[in-house]
């Protein structure tokens, strides 16, 4: 819901602005940063899952 509100504000600002090209470039840069941040967090999550999986397997194999 918050993302929708932010998109609405951004759209209104864009439509009212005379500097549309700069706004588009800023939005593109922000989107790339968000994508990279999300990708990094996903990779961290995968590393944690692999660590937990390997730890559990090691414990079960000792049994």
pLDDT in tens, 16-53: 777 888 888 988 999 999 999 999 999 999 999 999 99
Q: Is residue 40 part of a domain?
A: yes
Instruction: Check residue 41 and give its pLDDT.
Output: 97
Instruction: Check residue 49 and give its pLDDT.
Output: 98
Model confidence at 2: pLDDT above 90: no
Give CA–CA dist 10/16, Å, rounded: 10
Residue with tokens 């996903």: 42
Number of domains in the chain: 1
Residue 48's domain comprises: 19-62
Q: Is residue 1 part of a domain?
A: no
Q: Is residue 58 part of a domain?
A: yes
Q: Is residue 35 part of a domain?
A: yes
Q: Global pTM? A: 0.62
Q: Is residue 7 part of a domain?
A: no
Q: Could you tell me the pLDDT band of residue 59, with boundaries at 50, 70 and 90? A: very high
Cβ atoms within 10 Å, residue 14 = 13
Q: Is residue 3 part of a domain?
A: no
């Amino acid at each position: 819901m918050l993302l929708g509100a932010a998109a609405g504000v951004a759209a209104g600002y864009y439509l009212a602005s005379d500097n549309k090209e700069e706004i588009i470039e800023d939005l593109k840069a922000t989107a790339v940063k968000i994508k990279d941040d999300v990708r990094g967090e996903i990779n961290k999550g995968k590393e944690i899952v692999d660590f937990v999986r390997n730890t559990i397997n090691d414990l079960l194999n000792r049994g």
